[in-house]
Amino acid sequence: MRTRILLTSTARLAAAQLNAGAPGNARSNAFNGSQLCNRAFADANATGLVSFNPDVGTTNSPISWAGTAYQPYNATGNQNITELSLWFSPGNSNFSNNYELGYDACYMWLNQFTLNTFERGQNDTGACLQALDETCVNDFLDLTNQYAVELTGNPTSGPDSNLTSTSLPTVCSDLAQMLTENFPASCKGFFNDSLPISVTGGPPALGGALTGSQSLVNESICTINGSYSLMWSQYGAATLENYYYANYFVAPLVTAFMPIADYARPITLASAKSFMTCIRNNRLNPGSEAIPPAPSPTPIDTSAGSSNSASNTTGPATSSPASGSSSGGGLSGGAIAGTVIGVIAALALLAGAAFFFNRKRKRSGAEDVDASNGRESKGLVEAPHNASISEMDAASPAAQEMSSSKGWHAAELPGQEGQPGGSRNPAELAGHSKQ
């Protein structure tokens, strides 16, 4: 009987899908924004957080990326779904005023991990050093810094400039496309080469402008915990396999800070600085269904494709893509989701097998995520501008001291755990009974 239950359940797990997605600045036809809009992290089933201090421009306080996994209990209609969402908080900084900040910023998503990389990422502490490795992370961030300066470092002057106050979304998309076309060889072993390896940098895919007049932070339709703006939500049926999916998923993101993408910029950065973060919803809120341990990853040898510099790529990019190009390639949210489902469904399948063989085993929520490490461009260049450039005020507050040896810190998720009406059990998978 146990074998039959396992086979039936794993067949269902193989069909796991969160097959609809939408950016946080647009309502989809099927769903009217996140179900966690204007609520608290404690209302989710599971959460993840990566917080770090970029220490660029006038920003010397932490910013944060957060993830939520949510499956309502006894919900009806369109609310009877599983939801995986991404949120961003600029902390105390006003990301709509890039002139005041002294920089612009984009975020990008790396698509897509192999199954083994997802398994490696289950214990990632936030900087992607467990999901990937240090060589890959450094190569990717060095390349990001190089291309960010290429795109923003030398604007032409006048109203017909290649960089104006509305250029940042295009810069983000072009940066993602350049990274896609010159993906570091040291990273390729961690990504699924049976599908096109890609980096996305703007709607309708994940990624886009974080600062300025077209900031996705300001365009977001709602917040959670009062200050975290919705950046993306992925939806699927309220099944046990999708509940696993939302908890096992590891989101690799790059946050890139660069000179202001506007020829009329005042004081601005003279270089670029990027951070890679891997977010997993590794902290279960009270009352939520426990998640069985994921399978152990297979050890891999990355030495063949490793490099100590960003030069080990598929080829140098000496010019930016044509104006208006987009790394999203015209894919809809559903199409973007489709490229991810196969890998995560396989992970859910393996996790489901572990669940049925270890159904009596209880597991508490995993430890909080540590913050990620940044990578600054090595060669500083002066960013052209129309006003005189000046050093940052030496009297400005110093960056906050962080607790870890690398200068970053793990942040506790705000919320009110254990409060009535908080986290909920996921909906029961049809035909599934607990023993």
Task: List pLDDT tens digits, range 358-377.
Answer: 444 444 333 344 444 576 65
pLDDT of residue 352: 57
pLDDT, tens only, 298-332: 988 766 444 433 333 333 333 444 433 333 333 34
pLDDT, tens only, 244-263: 889 999 999 999 999 999 99
**Mean local confidence (pLDDT), 6-26:** 57
Whether 424 is in a domain gets the answer: no
Coil vs helix vs strand at 287: coil
* Range in 256-265, 332-341, 378-387 with the lowest mean pLDDT: 378-387
- Whose structure tokens read 């040291």? 186
Q: Which two tokens stand for residue 347?
A: 């992970």
**Helices 2-14 and 240-248 sit at what angle, rounded to 10 degrees?**
60
C-alpha–C-alpha distance, residues 18 and 15, integer Å? 10
Residue with the larger pLDDT of the pair 45 and 313: 45
C-alpha–C-alpha distance, residues 210 and 57, integer Å? 15
pLDDT of residue 353: 54
Whether 41 is in a domain gets the answer: yes
172 in Cβ contact with 402 (< 8 Å)? no
**Mean local confidence (pLDDT), 346-356:** 55
Q: Which two tokens stand for residue 60?
A: 């010397």
Whether 225 is in a domain gets the answer: yes
pLDDT of residue 348: 57
pLDDT of residue 362: 40
Residues of 222-243 as b/e, b for ≥16 C-beta within 10 angstroms? ebbbeebbbbbbbbbbbbbbbb
pLDDT of residue 301: 74
Whether 172 is in a domain gets the answer: yes
Coil vs helix vs strand at 297: coil
Whether 73 is in a domain gets the answer: yes
Q: Is the pLDDT of residue 34 over 80?
A: yes
pLDDT of residue 74: 59
Whether 131 is in a domain gets the answer: yes
- Whose structure tokens read 């470092």? 153
- Complete DSSP assignment for 107-142: EEEEE-B-HHHHHHGGG--SSSTTTS-HHHHHHHHH
Per-residue pLDDT band for 178 (boundaries 50, 70, 90) equals very high
Q: How does the average pLDDT of the chain come out, rounded? A: 74
Q: Is the pLDDT of residue 137 over 80?
A: yes
Q: Which of 303, 50, 350, 319 is nearest to 186 (CA)?
A: 303
**Could you list the residue range(s) of the whole structural domain that residue 268 is in?**
2-376
Most confident of 55-69, 248-262, 328-342: 248-262
pLDDT, tens only, 410-419: 333 333 333 3
Number of domains the chain is built from: 1
Judged on CB neighbours under 10 Å (0-12, 13-18, 19+), 37 is middle
Whether 117 is in a domain gets the answer: yes
pLDDT of residue 377: 57
- Complete DSSP assignment for 362-404: --PPPPPPPPPPEEE-SS--PPP-SS---PPPTTSPPPPPPSS
pLDDT, tens only, 148-160: 999 999 898 887 8
Whether 408 is in a domain gets the answer: no
Residue with the larger pLDDT of the pair 347 and 208: 208
